[in-house]
Amino acid sequence: MRGGRSMGKGLRRSIATALMLAALAALAAVHPASPLRQYLPSLPFETHRARKAVRNAKPRLAGELEKKGLHLGAPLFIRIYKTSAPGAADQGRLEAWLRARNGKYVLLRAYPVCARSGHLGPKLKEGDGQSPEGFYAVGPGRMNPRSRYHLSFNLGFPNAHDRANGWTGSFLMVHGKCVSIGCYAMTDPVIEDIWTLMRAAFREGQKRVPVHIFPFPMSDENLERWMKEHPGWRWAGFWRELQEGWRMFEQTRTPPAVSTRAGHYVFRTPR
């Protein structure tokens, strides 16, 4: 009987704790800035592996954050290029931008993409081996701390634009382990840095991290060079849409608000 009473008390205590944490989580979701967030033990996507990754990454990020007057937890914007310039043979780069106190985004660090697959141009269908191009947004629910590729997050392909154009695919990720079949693969230390920046931004209330993916920097010079070398390029119109979103960020240093209308991207300056 004594053991039964002890187990009963333990079960009731566990249930009460679970209910309390659920209530706190619901309140924190409705009020992201609520000080009650500090009492939550961790975000749902955290594991021992993810926490260890954060411990590894924080010292690597600290110096650059201090140098540029940025803080861990500021809103994050990610920009990916498949290659550094038209005709270049590299695998591209991933840029991590953080919002500064003046509201403009500052480049914290640019990381080389370790591996990607396919060629320049959008992903069209499941199994084509293509890495996507376009405008995506990643929330906490798309983070995977148990990935076979160390850590990963799902880009959310196909987005509304992709679906409107009949493009199909699933589980297009940014992850570690430097191996790609349609994903953007980084080294493990790099994905740990990116994970840490995303985790901190989510903890301070950012709902989604915008991830914009381009074939290369979309300057007029680069586009003209590509079109000249590839007359009749199939994706000329699509790339002009990508360029509009790219240019808005270059001019304002603020990620544009992106929507889809009749299968085309539409951009506006965020409020």
Catalytic residue IDs: 175, 183
Contact assessment for residue 117 and residue 131, using Cβ atoms and an 8 Å cutoff: yes
Cis peptide before 217 (omega within 30 of 0): no
Cα–Cα distance, 76 to 90 (Å, whole number): 25
Cα–Cα distance, 261 to 250 (Å, whole number): 23
Cα–Cα distance, 56 to 92 (Å, whole number): 24
Amino acid at 139: G
Sheet holding 184-185, edge to edge: 143-144, 152-154, 173-175, 184-185
Contact assessment for residue 214 and residue 136, using Cβ atoms and an 8 Å cutoff: no
Cα–Cα distance, 43 to 26 (Å, whole number): 12
What phi and psi, each to the nearest 5 degrees, are found at residue 259?
Answer: -140, 180
Contact assessment for residue 199 and residue 74, using Cβ atoms and an 8 Å cutoff: no
